[in-house]
Structure formats: C-alpha cells, structure tokens
Amino acid sequence: MPFRETLFAQNRRWAAAMTADVPDFFSRLSRAQTPAYLWIGCSDSRVPASEICGLKPGEVFVHRNIANLVHDIDVSCLSVLVYAIEILKIRWIIVCGHYGCGGVRAAMERTEVGLVDHWLKPIRTLYHHHAGELDAIADPRARLDRLCELNVLDQVVAVCRTSVVQHAWARGEPVAVHGFIYDLADGLLKDLHAAVTGPDGIEPIHRLVTERLGR
C-alpha cells in the first residue's frame, strides 16, 4: 500500500479505537488543551514524547529539534516557551535528551553536515568546556553518552536563562525545569536530577533584574 493510503488507514483505525474507549474523546479535546507538561526533546523518530511517557493527546505540549537544543534566538523554541508558560500555564518543563543522539555525535566527531553544523555549534563549545572529563573516557560510545547528558544539563540552564522563565519566577509562579535522558536500548527515562526551580539555579550574570521590568 502506498505511504499515503497506509497513513490514512492507520489514522482511521486509531481514531476509531480512541472513541471506542472514550466516546467524547475528540469532542472534549477539540474545545481546549490543558497539558501539564512542556517537553523539549530531540527530533529523533525513536523518542516520541507522548508515547514514551504513556500520555494521550492533550497531555503534553511539545517542541522538538535536532539534539534538543535551546538556542538564545530560536524564535520557534522561545515562542513555544512563552505560549506554554503564559497561555497554557504549564509549570513542569522537561528537557529530554537521549543516549546515542546523532546530533550530539555529529558535533563530537566534527562530521561536516552543512547547515546543521551551525545548529550544533553549542555542543562543540560544550565539549570544549568539558574536554578534561570527556577526553578521559576511552570508550567513544560512553563519551558520547556523557556528552548527551551534559547537553541536557546545559539546555536546562538555557531554558532558565530565558526572560519568560525568569518573569514567571518573578511573578511567583512555581515553574520547574527538569532534565531527563532516554535510553533507546531499553525504552527507559532517567532523571538527571538537575531540576531548576528558581533564579538561584543560574549564573548571577544571567539573572535578569526582573523588578525593573515591571512584570
């Protein structure tokens, strides 16, 4: 069956199964979304946010890109953050990486991948900052996996450095940013225990003087 027919047939079966389970599932969901979580993850097809967390449509707001990066001037990612925090009132933000990430590998191995090289540049800088620890890991696979973890930790802090998160904290909203990593080999998530829940979790130079902003 051609790909288009396959996808539409599967979609019809899925929608029928959902309504067989909960008859008003789609009519209820079509009125509004109230997801509890924002997921910032990798585009890798093997790491689908809702499936691996056992969540249904409507339960997780998702932003994915190559190597789950939070660039300072990525309008797409920043817009998702603003919408999640200010409109959807989401309080739990998850940055989730995964072991064996191809984006992190390309950065580590200095493989030239065209435009993507620009996107991955922060990972090369991150490697440079942790070269002592990383170069001491003899096994390339273990070195890659450690860099995948360090990248998640770095992106947790990047989320916290944004003005939208800092404004939320200044308003007294309990926004928490967590760092998880997913293992493709066994399907399990691991908490990196790097949760940041206030400005104390970021470097002083990145803490905005939010009271001056009148927010």
> Rule CB under 5 A: which residues touch Co ion?
42, 44, 101, 103
Beta bridge partners of 39: 62, 94
Q: How far is the CB of 93 from Co ion (least distance, A)?
A: 19
Residue 158: is it exposed, middle or buried by C-beta count within 10 angstroms (0-12/13-18/19+)? buried
* Sign of the alpha-carbon torsion through 167, 171, 173, 174: positive
Identified catalytic residue from 46, 110, 124, 215: 46
Residue among 84 and 144 whose Cβ is closer to Co ion: 144
Residue among 29 and 116 whose Cβ is closer to Co ion: 116
Three-state SS across 17-77? HHHHHCCCHHHHHCCCCCCCEEEEEECCCCCCHHHHHCCCCCCEEEEEECCCCCCCCCHHH
Residue among 103 and 199 whose Cβ is closer to Co ion: 103
Other residues' Cβ atoms within 10 Å of the Cβ of residue 55: 16
Q: How far is the CB of 100 from Co ion (least distance, A)?
A: 8
Instruction: Confirm if 104 and 116 have CB atoms less than 8 A apart.
Output: no
In the residue annotation, 46 being an active-site residue is answered as yes
Q: How far is the CB of 105 from Co ion (least distance, A)?
A: 9
In the residue annotation, 101 being an active-site residue is answered as yes
Identified catalytic residue from 101, 154, 160, 161: 101
In the residue annotation, 98 being an active-site residue is answered as yes
Identified catalytic residue from 44, 160, 161, 167: 44
Residue among 69 and 175 whose Cβ is closer to Co ion: 69
Identified catalytic residue from 42, 96, 148, 160: 42
Q: Which residues are catalytic?
A: 42, 44, 46, 98, 101
